[in-house]
Amino acid sequence: MILTDAASQVRAVVTNASLATKFPHMTGAFLHPFARPARDSFIELVRGEGSLLWDRDGNEYIDAMASLWYCNVGHGRTEIADAVATHMSQLETYSCFDPFTNPMADAIAERVADLSPIDSARVFLCGSGSESIDTAMKLARLTHVQAGHPERTLIISRMLGYHGTNYGGTTAQGLPPNKEGWGPLVPEVVQVPSDDIEALATLMAERSHEIAAVLSEPVQGAGGVWPAEEGYLQSLRRLCDQHGALLIFDEVITGFGRLGEWFGSIHYGVTPDIITFAKAVTSGYQPLGGVIVGPAVTGPLESDPNYVLKTGYTYSGHASVAAAGMVNLDIIERENLLSHANRIGDRLSTGLRAMQSDGQIAEVRGVGAVWAAGMRPDINAMEVRDHLLKAGVIVRAIADHSCTFCPPLVTTDEQIDRVVDAMSSVLTSLGAN
């Protein structure tokens, strides 16, 4: 009876016209992330299919952001839900701390390792991109300790980079507003100008024997969609090799098809020592993240057979979550979604560049199926976002200066055209013509 009542409550939350009527005690209880705490109303999304979403009032939206850069296979994939439910009915999960494991955790780790560009890879599993970044930073420092170089603690990242909101990732961010108000952050983490390879080379030369790792996104996503300049990532690899530092690629956004390859590092032809991932590994159907490491890390960690890795999370290797990941990767492979990234990107960027030629926007930047439109100084990106919502299109505004696009890899040409047409209409209405 209790289970039946609980299920009924879940259905009521999803289907009833008024949440406040059914659950008045919940009104205002949710403190939303990256939102004004004083805000008292939000758009309630209740259903999705492919690249389309519907709110509680029946309004339809094209999801031009894959939710938050992650829903690559689109919404409403019941086979993922069925796989999770089936696994939960057998064994929801069990801790993977020594001495336990489960078949799904082993399977997803093996599969991700095989898809990665790192030879002889091993995969640490966690629950989010933020956890993966913190873990990668810890593993980078730990590797040098195990190799006999405890003085190597410095982590270097780039301005405009976004690396999650745990303390390590917050420290590594190159977005100063996101660092304000949290008090002292993690020591020995510094940023260099985003694409200034000479500034990085100078810093690395000055502190060569102190550096644990260099951390970079192949494409700086949440900072505004800034693809690495030609040759930049190759230079990172060369400098890390020269100074004995590990190279970490944050592929939380660029992993699993966004750039037309399984990983952005494959697209750019640069192999790092460590890769972080999350988001599209399950397309958001369950929370899964992880860290891929190669011999540069596993060698020192495995050198002492009695050494115990003293880090992990309650849900590291969560079996039902891993089941979602396995089916999600099946879909990407079966439907050849990697090939869709460039199709989507070509069509979207063509439309955006037409708006740039017409003077409606100032800049277009992107690669694969992730793009940004830089606004003219007289146009506010947040205002554009809000008008697009009224037109049934979801994009993400970065501060006041850019609107970003990251559609699911199942988005149709017709839907991309609707996004572009809505954007142009909104900009015209705001005086950008």
How far apart, in whole angstroms, are the C-alpha atoms of residue 411 and residue 341? Answer: 10
Dihedral pair phi/psi, residue 289, rounded to 5°: -140, 175
Q: How far is CA 66 from CA 72, 140, 158, 284, 345, in A?
A: 6, 31, 25, 9, 14
179-211 per-position pLDDT tens digit: 999 999 999 999 999 999 999 999 999 999 999
Q: What is the arithmetic mean of pLDDT over 387-402?
A: 96
Model confidence at 24, in pLDDT bands (50, 70, 90)? very low
Tokens for 244, please give them. 């004995």
Residue with tokens 């032809």: 269
> What sign does the dihedral 64-69-73-77 (CA atoms) show?
negative
Whether 22 has a pLDDT exceeding 50, the answer reads no
Q: Among residues of the chain, what percentage have pLDDT more than 90?
A: 91
**H-type helices in 250-406, by residue range?**
264-268, 295-302, 319-334, 340-357, 381-390
What is the structure's pLDDT at 40?
A: 86
What is the structure's pLDDT at 16?
A: 58
Tokens for 300, please give them. 């020192």
219-260 per-position pLDDT tens digit: 999 999 999 999 999 999 999 999 999 999 999 999 999 999
Alpha carbon 271 to chain centroid, angstroms:
19
DSSP-derived secondary structure letter, 101:
-
What is the structure's pLDDT at 326?
A: 98
What is the structure's pLDDT at 400?
A: 87
What is the structure's pLDDT at 23?
A: 43
310-333 per-position pLDDT tens digit: 999 999 999 999 999 999 999 999
What is the structure's pLDDT at 5?
A: 58
343-382 per-position pLDDT tens digit: 999 999 999 999 999 999 999 999 999 999 999 999 999 9
Angle ∠(407,408,413) on CA atoms, nearest 5: 70
What is the structure's pLDDT at 129?
A: 98
Name the residue among 259, 284, 322, 287 with its Cα closest to residue 63. Answer: 284
Spatial contact of 403 and 421, defined as CB atoms under 8 Å apart: no
**H-type helices in 207-251, by residue range?**
232-243
Model confidence at 20, in pLDDT bands (50, 70, 90)? very low
Whether 147 has a pLDDT exceeding 90, the answer reads yes
Model confidence at 48, in pLDDT bands (50, 70, 90)? very high
CA dihedral 72, 74, 80, 84 (to 10 degrees): 80
pTM: 0.94
Name the residue among 47, 48, 51 with its Cα closest to residue 15. Answer: 47
Q: What is the arithmetic mean of pLDDT over 166-183?
A: 96
> What residue ranges define each of the domains in the chain, with the CATH number in brackets?
19-73+338-429 (3.90.1150.10), 80-334 (3.40.640.10)
Model confidence at 2, in pLDDT bands (50, 70, 90)? very low
73-97 per-position pLDDT tens digit: 999 999 999 999 999 999 999 999 9
In whole numbers, what is the pLDDT of the chain averaged over residues?
Answer: 94
How far apart, in whole angstroms, are the C-alpha atoms of residue 323 and residue 313? Answer: 18
At what angle are helices 295-302 and 129-146 packed, to 10 degrees? 60
Q: What is the arithmetic mean of pLDDT over 337-344?
A: 97
| Count of beta carbons in the 10 Å neighbourhood of residue 29 | 7
Q: What is the arithmetic mean of pLDDT over 405-415?
A: 98
Q: Strands, DSSP E only, in 74-179?
A: 122-126, 154-158
What is the structure's pLDDT at 191?
A: 98
